[in-house]
Amino acid sequence: MSNRAFGTSGWNLQYHNPIKLMRALLKDWMLLWGVFLLASPLHAEVIRLATTTSTDNSGLFRKLLPHYEAASGDQVQVIAVGTGKALKLGEDGNVDVVLVHAPSAEVEFVESGFGINRRSVMYNDFVLVGPPTDPAGVRGMRQASEALSRIAENRTVFVSRGDDSGTHKKERSLWELAAVKPDAFWYREAGQGMGTVLLMSSELQGYTLTDRGTWLAFEPKLQLEVLVEGDPLLFNPYGIIAVNPDLHRGVNYLGAMRLIAWITSVEGQELIREFTLGGRPLFIPTAISE
């Protein structure tokens, strides 16, 4: 199924049944009308949102969702896992909407027919953090792949998410760019969320790759510093996608589209913009231009 915008492609003569016609119309126009539907108690339902541990660990949803739930009457159940697992939950119809940060995997998810109406939400960046002593000597390097190569050469501890998350996908791409196959002697795969991995890295005085939002949320608890940042390859965009209701009859498509409409609305985007720690933004909204 194509990822249609607000065109009339769904308005065709195959919908002789008025119920089917209404469903088709709603699919094409839900984003436009979603904000207006928020106020209607007739649409108050449970919405299952699969998202990344990075967005959850940052505290973003504790900021956003009370506003949405108060406006809509809906209840949003957040399932925080790695991006790969979040997309799998969507593929299997076990959630209604996914918010993740792996653009190529998101595009594949939509092109394979599992998701529709993908929208950009926000971005931040990845940073390489490590102990203040910086035993591998990577501080200030501008290319993340070269920094990883130096960590490998020095055989200093690196803690990986190891969970097929968006962060793990990015990390793997950087190791490939560096032409390095990590060695089990110094490379630790945690299979855990970002917050846990940061705590492990601090305890082991090792390096890790993290999104900036989770880093800022956990920084006071850690004996780590940002050592490498600013590489264009560390750009970290987030997208939100409704699960395709044509594949899974039990999916709450209308609820998913109400949530997407709100998160990409002026109100949702402003709340993302205002979400800061110590005056520093955790995410930059992208659905609405300044």
Mean pLDDT score across all residues of the chain: 87
Average pLDDT over residues 44-52: 93
3 state DSSP class of 206 = coil
- Report d(CA 30, CA 35) in Å as an integer: 9
280-281/276-277 β-pairing: antiparallel
Pinpoint the alpha helices (H) of 73-206: 83-91, 103-111, 144-154, 166-177, 194-204
- Report d(CA 191, CA 252) in Å as an integer: 30
Structure tokens at 99: 């918010």
Secondary structure letter of residue 207 according to DSSP: B
Residue extents of the structural domains in the chain: 18-124+236-285, 125-234
Q: Which amino acid is at 50?
A: A
- Report d(CA 87, CA 89) in Å as an integer: 5
Query: What's the CATH number of domain 125-234, 3.40.50.970, 3.40.50.720, 3.30.413.10, 3.40.190.10?
Result: 3.40.190.10
Distance spanning both ends of the chain, measured CA to CA: 32
pLDDT at 85 (0 to 100): 95
Structure tokens at 19: 């119920």
pLDDT at 42 (0 to 100): 53
**pLDDT tens digits along 160-213:** 999 989 999 999 999 999 999 998 899 999 999 999 999 999 999 999 999 999
Q: Considering Cα of 224, then 228, then 229, then 234, what sign does the dihedral take?
A: negative
3 state DSSP class of 277 = strand
Q: Do 18-124+236-285 and 125-234 share a fold?
A: yes
110: left (phi over 0), alpha (psi -120 to 50) or beta: alpha
pLDDT at 54 (0 to 100): 86
CATH superfamily of 18-124+236-285: Periplasmic binding protein-like II (3.40.190.10)
**pLDDT tens digits along 250-280:** 999 999 999 999 999 999 999 999 999 889 9
- Report d(CA 239, CA 100) in Å as an integer: 6
**pLDDT tens digits along 238-252:** 999 999 999 998 999
**pLDDT tens digits along 74-100:** 999 999 999 999 999 999 999 999 999
Closest CA to 193 of 206, 211, 172: 211
Secondary structure letter of residue 265 according to DSSP: S
pLDDT exceeds cutoff 80 at 28: no
Q: Considering Cα of 46, then 236, then 81, then 94, what sign does the dihedral take?
A: positive
